[in-house]
Amino acid sequence: MNSSAFSELGRRTIDPPISWLMKTALERPELISLAAGFTDDLSLPVRETRTLLNQILSSAKTAQKTLQYGATAGDAVLRRLTVERLIEQDVGALERGLYSADNLLITHGSQQLLYLITECLCDPGDIVLVEDPTYFVYLSIIQSRGLRGRGLTLARDGIDLEHLESVLESLKREGELKRVKMLYLVTYFQNPSGVTTSLAKKAAALKLLRRYEKDAGHPIYLVEDAAYRDLRFAGGDVPSALAVSGHQDRVIYAGTYSKPFATGIRVGYGWMPSPVYEVAVRVKGNHDFGTSNLLQQVLVQALSSGLYHKHLAILQRRYQKKARVMTQALRENFPGAVEWQEPGGGLYVWARLPQKHKSGRKSGLFRDALKMDVLYVPGELCYADDPTRLPPNREMRLSFGNASEANIREGIARLGKVLRALGI
Ligand SMILES: Cc1ncc(COP(=O)(O)O)c(C=O)c1O
C-alpha cells in the first residue's frame, strides 16, 4: 500500500515523553518516582468530595441538571465564581469590567485549554515562543501539531526580554514574523524551573509583542499558563498579565482547579479576548460540546461553600512541608556543585549539574538512578526543538508532589549517592 490511513497529524505525533515516564513508573512499583507531576495522594479531598456529591445528587434542584449535558462554554455559576476569584487575585491592578464571565471558558483540565488555543491560533509551520525550559507536555502539543518552538532564555524573574527582542528581530529579518502566533509562558512556580514571572516582565513582554504585530500582520497573543498559581506557600501573589492595563486584548489566561483541588476532577478554564473566545467555543463544541457537568458542579459547591479555600490552605501547608523535606535532603545529600533554588510554591525543584555532566535519558546518571530505583524528569525533555541553539542536558526536575516524605528523603539520598559515584 502506498498511502496511509492516518492523517498528517496522526503520522507525525510521536509518543510523548509523559507516556513513557508514566509507563516506567507504573511498570516498576518499587520505583521512587520524583518524576510525576501527580499531586499528593494523602491530602486529596476524598471525604469532602463524597459529601459534595451526596449533596448535589440529593437535591431536586441540582440532581437531574448535574447528570445532564451542559453548555459548551461551561456552567454559568462556575464561570462567574471563577471570574470573581480572578478579580480577587488581581485586585488593585485591574479594570474590573474587563474580567467578564462572558469571556471565560471551562475546559477539561487546563491541558484542554492549551490544546484548544494552540489549535485555534496555529497552523503547521507556525512558531510558538516558549521559555527555555518549559512544560514538556506543551512541547508535545507543538510537536504533534507540526509547529516550531523557539526557546527564550529564562532568568530568575521570567524570560530574558533582550532575548525575546532579538528573537523577534531575527524572525523579522528572516520574513518569519507572520508565522509567530503566540508566546507561551508558565508564569507561577514554573514547571519545571520553579521561576515566577514578575508583573513588570509580563507588561514589558506584552508591549514588545505588540511592537512586532504590524510586521506580523496579526495579533501575537501572550498565553499565560497559571497552573500553579494557587499552590503558593511563600511570598506574595503576583498579578496576572490580565492586570496589565491596555493589553488585556492580547492575553489568554489559562487556570486550573485540578492541581489545587483534585487532579482527578480535571476542570480547568481560560479567560480570553472576545475574538479568540468565539473561535475557541466553536472548536470546543466539536471536541466535546462541554466539560463534564457533574465535575463542574463539584467545583461550584466547593467554591461557594468555602471548602475550596479551606482545602487549599491545607494543601499549601502540605506542599510547603514536602518542599522542606526535599530541600533538606538536597542539602544533606547532593554535592555542593549541583545548583538548585528553594521553591516558593508549585511541585518542583530544578537541579543543575556542573558543566560537562549530563542528566539526559542516555546519561550514566539517569541509568544509574534507575538502577537504584529512582526516576526523575531529565531536563533535556523540557527544551523546545529549536534549531538555533543546543538544548542543555544537565538538569533534573525533581517533584515533591506525589512521593511520600519518606520516599522523598530516600530518593534524594540515592540520587546523591549516584551523583557522588559519578565524581560530581
Ligand atoms: C504547567 C502546566 N500547565 C498545565 C497543566 C495541565 O493541568 P490540568 O490539565 O490538570 O489543569 C499542567 C499539569 O501538569 C502543568 O504542569
Q: Does residue 110 have its Cβ closer than 6 Å to ligand 1?
A: yes
* Strand partners for 380: none
Tell me which residue has cell 526516576: 375
Q: Reply yes or no on whether the pLDDT at 91 is more than 80.
A: no
> CB of 218 within 8 A of CB of 189?
no
Atom of ligand 1 nearest to the CA of 256: 11
Q: Reply yes or no on whether the pLDDT at 94 is more than 80.
A: no
68 by DSSP, 3-state: which?
coil
Give pLDDT tens digits for 165-209: 999 999 999 999 999 999 999 999 999 999 999 999 999 999 999
Q: Reply yes or no on whether the pLDDT at 415 is more than 70.
A: yes
The reported pLDDT for the residue numbered 29 is: 86
Residue 93 pLDDT level (bands cut at 50, 70, 90): low
Q: Using CA positions, which residue lies closest to atom 12 of ligand 1?
A: 227
Q: Does residue 227 have its Cβ closer than 6 Å to ligand 1?
A: yes
Q: Which three cell numbers stand for residue 208?
A: 514588545
The reported pLDDT for the residue numbered 95 is: 63
User: Looking only at Cα atoms, what is the longest distance across the chain?
Assistant: 67
Tell me which residue has cell 475574538: 275
> CB of 307 within 8 A of CB of 48?
yes
Atom of ligand 1 nearest to the CA of 37: 14
| Pocket perturbation via mutation, ligand 1, pick of 258, 287, 319, 348 by most ligand atoms within 8 A of CB | 258
Q: What is the mean pLDDT of residues 403-414?
A: 97
Q: Does residue 193 have its Cβ closer than 6 Å to ligand 1?
A: no
Q: Does residue 260 have its Cβ closer than 6 Å to ligand 1?
A: no
Query: What span, in angstroms and rounded, lies between the C-alpha atoms of 161 and 144?
Result: 28
Give pLDDT tens digits for 124-159: 999 999 999 999 999 999 999 999 999 999 999 999
Q: Reply yes or no on whether the pLDDT at 239 is more than 90.
A: yes
DSSP string, 70-115: --TT--HHHHHHHHHHHHHHTTTS--GGG--GGGEEEEEHHHHHHH
| Pocket perturbation via mutation, ligand 1, pick of 40, 110, 319 by most ligand atoms within 8 A of CB | 110
Q: Using CA positions, which residue lies closest to atom 13 of ligand 1?
A: 37
Tell me which residue has cell 471551562: 106
Query: What span, in angstroms and rounded, lies between the C-alpha atoms of 2 and 418?
Result: 49
> Residue 423: which residues within 8 A CB-CB, separation 6 or more?
none
Q: Give me the percent of the chain exceeding a pLDDT of 70.
A: 99
Q: Give pTM, 2 decimals.
A: 0.97
Give pLDDT tens digits for 372-398: 999 999 999 999 999 999 999 999 999
Q: What is the mean pLDDT of residues 252-274?
A: 96
Q: Reply yes or no on whether the pLDDT at 254 is more than 80.
A: yes
What is the SS3 string spanning 302-345? HHHHCHHHHHHHHHHHHHHHHHHHHHHHHHHHCCCCCECCCCCE
Query: What span, in angstroms and rounded, lies between the C-alpha atoms of 195 and 159?
Result: 10
Q: Does residue 269 have its Cβ closer than 6 Å to ligand 1?
A: no
Query: What span, in angstroms and rounded, lies between the C-alpha atoms of 48 and 53?
Result: 9
235-262 exposure pattern, b = at least 16 Cβ within 10 A, e = fewer? eeebbbbbbbeebbebbbbbbbbbbbbb
Q: At 158, which helix (H) or strand (E)?
A: strand 158-159
Q: Reply yes or no on whether the pLDDT at 357 is more than 80.
A: yes
First to last CA, the chain: 53
Q: Does residue 189 have its Cβ closer than 6 Å to ligand 1?
A: no
35 by DSSP, 3-state: which?
coil
Lowest-pLDDT range, 94-108, 130-144, 221-235?
94-108
Q: How far does residue 312's CA lie from ligand 1's centre (Å)?
A: 17
Q: Does residue 135 have its Cβ closer than 6 Å to ligand 1?
A: yes
The reported pLDDT for the residue numbered 412 is: 98
Q: How far does residue 213's CA lie from ligand 1's centre (Å)?
A: 29
Q: Does residue 416 have its Cβ closer than 6 Å to ligand 1?
A: no
The reported pLDDT for the residue numbered 18 is: 79
The reported pLDDT for the residue numbered 96 is: 65
Residues in the chain: 424
Q: Which three cell numbers stand for residue 80?
A: 462567574
Closest C-alpha among 120, 103, 137, 139 to residue 253: 103
